[in-house]
Amino acid sequence: PTRGGLATTLNEITKSSNVCCELTESDIPVRAEVKGGCSILGLDPLYLANEGKFICILPAEYADKALEIMRADPLGHDAKRIGTMTDANPGKVVLVTPLGGKRLLGMLEGEQLPRIC
């Protein structure tokens, strides 16, 4: 997920595949230093370019085996399952927050600019 980050990449996939991606926010691995920097700059880490990361979408019955294979490699030791594709809201990316709320993640429009206030 390069320009537009995870959120934009998943939006492109859900729109072209007519499925919904439901993400669990607490399962998305974001390093503490990235969270801290984004907090200071007013950026959303879900929209940051993520060079060298890999998004794997496959049938649920293969998820555990795929994670086992990815985690066996030093570059994939932090691999996680972060969501599920459903038919609930075709073309949408839905983020489930730690409190159980849901919010839609749209496409990145223009440039991600820091919060000024």
Domains of the chain, CATH where assigned: 5-104 (3.90.650.10)
**How distant, in Å, are the alpha carbons of 28, 51, 70, 81, 85 from that of 55?**
12, 11, 11, 10, 13
% of the chain residues with pLDDT over 90? 80
pLDDT of residue 72: 97
Tell me if 94 sits within 8 A of 23, measured CB to CB.
yes
pLDDT band at 111 (very low <50, low <70, confident <90, very high): low
60: left (phi over 0), alpha (psi -120 to 50) or beta: alpha
pLDDT at 73 over 90: yes
pTM: 0.86
Q: Among all chains, which residue has been given the structure tokens 């991606």?
A: 21
Tell me if 75 sits within 8 A of 81, measured CB to CB.
no
22-64 residue pLDDT tens = 999 999 999 999 999 999 998 999 999 888 888 999 999 999 9
